[in-house]
Structure 1
């Protein structure tokens, strides 16, 4: 039976005592599938969650649908988003829907308040309720509607596993991860569409292939390069204000392509190296993700000291009491092997 070992990645201190720890797994893989570095067992099985969104957006580009509807780079970027429901996010998703002749009524992603607190407060102040456009997955669902519209498939049940658009995206995810679709356990994501389970090592491999897509057919290679360009050109659309994926790409430019997923998942493509990086915090707590991700990049020599300083808010988080006194910190606590 395979080991599912997790290791301590992040510790939380109070004074001189470590009060809590967050364990997890890190895998760094090259485009040939070789493990470059790791912490914990890279065979740890879990859901990739929203870190699958770039791969789910690839069919929109390689099919010709993105060109057919004249999608801009910012519109392509929002297809990969787990956005915070800010005004720019809502605006760009609406642009996408307008280009395919549909309204927000066709989105089946459900509704929740904006993740961006000022945006949520602004809605309340205006006496407005959040809409499907504020859902963090509305961009992904807009991408699904693009493909559905382009292929003249049924619009009403595009979110179901048996629908052609979901089967197409499952196949694309499997291709990137080097798996057959039947090897991927399927769950249901928060927004109602299928979500894919795989090992952390396979997650990293999928991002390595995004980093170095030369082994793919020309259409997929071109789609991968365009998607990377869109995400790094418009990082604020991929996540949002104060979010790690956005801040990381803003600071390092096109050196890295970053995408978060729920329950403590984070994935990165490193084009210059042809590497993919995947991280999973076992307990799913997001507070551990930033310190762990920056530590991985630092240990691999992928960020400079200046870049690390610019990302300090995500690296070592000070803990304060109700009197605003610093009483501890959240910090990385591992070394890659």
Structure 2
């Protein structure tokens, strides 16, 4: 399929000794409470795979079908089904509780055995000569949520990752409902962990996270109730959703924000008081630019919580150091939000 790259703009520049070395182009879309585009950079129609930004949506059917009550899960345990965890000890402790309560074997998870994304957690395992595990995969909580949903629905857990499976069909329906994009328009793909993943125009991603921030805008009552629970758990346990020194953790510490990123440069967040939803796509697929981009967005809309903005700048690695820890350059957000 031929893809047209429409009006992409530079979001971040990398400088070395004052000279431009790299550019990071992309798109940004911001929508207001009515779902109308309010802010833009580049192409708000750009088709974007949600990747792990889909995880809170993938959690909706599980919560709507009361897996938490059925398996007597705590909020902390349940929040893992919407997480991209880093495999730290705090994550593995809760994941093992999920395995036990849901009553599935680790081998039933489709995701591939790996080491944790958190470098310290990985190094600790390597020092002890410990093997890879499926549970260390950053998507393992999501897969456990899908298996739990299959059990509650009374359907076969085998093939839970196939598009035709009732679990995946429930997720697709939830995505269409909350995004406002009809199912026949949604484009299909396969995520890194093996389950279906979907692409929508960037404006629909922004609309999705607007509704996570303002669930009263959701017409379906069961989805609205599920979203309220999911966002509450994400804000209650931000360290579970991601991990130490991660952008999702930093943003979710702010109770006014619901946020989630995905692989290959996609990031989404909603602002509750401001009634705004934002989505962005860094077209070179990098994630390092996220904190700097989101901080710049918040500054440009005059967001009031300076602590949140400062946490993002603390993560942003604006200064570039070489292997000898010598300052050799800097990064700078160079985009200007266009108010539509």
TM range (shorter): over 0.9
SS in 1 for 2:280: strand
Q: Distance in 1 between matches of 2:141 and 2:307?
A: 33
Task: Provide, for residues 184-238 of structure 1, a one-character-per-residue CA deviation record: whole Å limited to 9, x for no partner.
Answer: 1111101000000111111001111111122323322221111111001100111
Q: Distance in 1 between matches of 2:312 and 2:267?
A: 16
Q: Distance in 1 between matches of 2:151 and 2:121?
A: 31
**Residue in 1 that maps onto 2:158:** 156
**Residue in 2 that maps onto 1:238:** 241
SS in 2 for 1:286: coil
- Equivalent positions of 1:292-331 (< 5 A) are 292-331=293-332
Is the contact between residue 315 and residue 331 of structure 1 (CA under 8 Å) also seen in structure 2? no
- Equivalent positions of 1:247-286 (< 5 A) are 247-250=250-253, 252=254, 254-286=255-287
Structure 1-normalised TM-score?
0.95
Task: Provide, for residues 253-306 of structure 1, a one-character-per-residue CA deviation record: whole Å limited to 9, x for no partner.
Answer: x11011110001111021222221111000101122221111112212225334
Residue 2 (structure 1) shift: 7.7
Q: Distance in 2 between matches of 1:45 and 1:212?
A: 24
**Residue in 1 that maps onto 2:199:** 197
1:229 aligns with 2:223: no
Q: Distance in 1 between matches of 2:300 and 2:276?
A: 14
SS in 2 for 1:38: strand
**Residue in 2 that maps onto 1:16:** 18
Q: Which moved more, 1:28-37 or 1:13-22?
A: 28-37
Is the contact between residue 60 and residue 146 of structure 1 (CA under 8 Å) also seen in structure 2? yes
Is the contact between residue 265 and residue 286 of structure 2 (CA under 8 Å) also seen in structure 1? yes
Residue 63 (structure 1) shift: 1.6
**Residue in 1 that maps onto 2:73:** 71
Residue 321 (structure 1) shift: 2.0
Is the contact between residue 61 and residue 67 of structure 1 (CA under 8 Å) also seen in structure 2? no
Residue 65 (structure 1) shift: 2.4
Residue 64 (structure 1) shift: 2.2
| Superposition misfits of 4+ residues, deviation over 4 angstroms | none
Q: How much is the aligned-residue C-alpha RMSD, in angstroms?
A: 1.6
Q: Distance in 1 between matches of 2:135 and 2:300?
A: 39
**Residue in 2 that maps onto 1:141:** 143
Is the contact between residue 5 and residue 44 of structure 1 (CA under 8 Å) also seen in structure 2? no
Is the contact between residue 291 and residue 313 of structure 2 (CA under 8 Å) also seen in structure 1? no
SS in 2 for 1:287: coil
Is the contact between residue 46 and residue 199 of structure 1 (CA under 8 Å) also seen in structure 2? yes
1:88 to 87, 90, 101: 90
